[in-house]
Structure 1
């Protein structure tokens, strides 16, 4: 009998303390704002531009040969599974951690090749300090790997980085992290729908 009562008390404590909440995270990301240029070269502040929207955010770089294109594609698949009404309340944000090469023009071309709708998407490039602050906030690592020079003498390099999609709710709280390139698209869609309820 004592074991049953003890188990019941642990269960009640876990429920009351929020251990069984749908999302594992509740991190406020709105305390600091970072300035970026969007794909049109206009100044915006992140996360201010997502205010009142459920946001799916990724950090990528356009010279990435594998993970970043797959992550961006998965974001598009998620977008395709949401209704028009749901999409009115959702924002997609892509921030580069390679601002030296990923200028607004480069990001815009990267998006246009993929037929991305800029009414719902923002591609952001910032200075190194703002980029580092956002990376720190989202616990994203990026380290330049092997480098070389092309035939024109331009430095070419790849970046080893965290493979991440982040889900932010309407109140600016980071709620969940996913592995961006292999994410279960339906899981993210269901999580967005849960936040929309």
Structure 2
């Protein structure tokens, strides 16, 4: 995709001041108010109506785009997971995180995916859903650390629909997050945090992808989007 300058310009102006996770692209989700929304048409293959906010000029995939395919190991299940393996079978919620996140934003992302997972189980459509959370800090986020994190966050790994994805190297993670999904990522010293050698200013996005592999919603402020709204959107897509 050739839509990178829009997001990079914002990242460049914000990254120096950010503590851990960036939420600078917008306030609210892709459904925030936009007076041009009525002019947009539904994209063939999508379930939700066009979002009120048009993010089509951003560097990342947005409403109606094909979600880029990537294959990443899941150390907890012992398998390599490809995003396209769910096409025709499951809708996905996808996010990117690291367990050492110092400001609570990454746990907030996990909370929202975990709540959607719980509602899917309650609604009997857990087998039609997939939850993918990819770390971009494989040096620290080892298999054992991810297992402990799953327990701390209350993730139900036994449901078989949640995958913690772990690239082999940071460079691989950056290639995926930045190069493939258009979300600028920077590894930098964490002098302000005594217990951290380095940290990652990054964008706390959540992507909602339907079973056809098309993006239904992008939540730029994934850590603060109303959980009920995300769950409602996800349930609509999964059960359509």
Q: How does 1:102-117 map to 2 (within 5 A)?
A: 102-117=141-156
**What is the CA–CA distance in structure 1 between the aligned matches of 2:222 and 2:229, rounded to whole Å?**
12
Specify whether residues 188 and 41 from structure 1 end up closer, same or farther in structure 2 by C-alpha distance, changes over 3 A only.
closer
The aligned counterpart of 2:11 is: none
The aligned counterpart of 2:234 is: 192
| Residue 162 of structure 1: how far off its partner (Å) | 0.2
Equivalenced residue count is 178
1:139 aligns with 2:182: yes
| Residue 43 of structure 1: how far off its partner (Å) | 3.5
| Residue 41 of structure 1: how far off its partner (Å) | 6.2
Structure 1, unmatched stretches of 5+, are 1-12
4+ aligned runs moved over 6 Å, structure 1: none
**Which of 78, 87, 91 lines up with 2:116 in the alignment?**
78
**Which of 83, 93, 100 lines up with 1:63 in the alignment?**
100
Task: Determine if contact 2:110/2:153 at 8 Å carries over to the other structure.
Answer: no
Q: How does 1:112-131 map to 2 (within 5 A)?
A: 112-118=151-157, 119-127=160-168, 128-131=170-173
TM-score, normalised via structure 1 length: 0.77
Task: Determine if contact 2:187/2:200 at 8 Å carries over to the other structure.
Answer: yes
**What is the CA–CA distance in structure 2 between the aligned matches of 1:166 and 1:145, rounded to whole Å?**
25
Residues 43-97 of structure 1: CA distance to partner in whole angstroms, max 9, x if unpaired?
4132134332111111000000211011111222223333341222111110011
| Residue 110 of structure 1: how far off its partner (Å) | 0.7
Higher percent of residues as strand: 1
| Residue 146 of structure 1: how far off its partner (Å) | 3.0
User: In terms of Rg, which structure is larger?
Assistant: 1
Q: How does 1:24-63 map to 2 (within 5 A)?
A: 24=51, 25-30=63-68, 32-34=69-71, 36-40=72-76, 42-51=78-87, 52-63=89-100
Larger CA deviation: 117-126 vs 103-112: 103-112
**What is the CA–CA distance in structure 2 between the aligned matches of 1:126 and 1:167, rounded to whole Å?**
21
Task: Determine if contact 2:90/2:211 at 8 Å carries over to the other structure.
Answer: yes
TM-score, normalised via structure 2 length: 0.65
Structure 2, unmatched stretches of 5+, are 1-37, 52-62
Secondary structure in structure 2 of the residue aligned to 1:81: helix
Tell me the C-alpha RMSD between the 2 structures: 2.7
Secondary structure in structure 2 of the residue aligned to 1:194: helix
Residues 77-127 of structure 1: CA distance to partner in whole angstroms, max 9, x if unpaired?
223333341222111110011122212222121112223111221001013
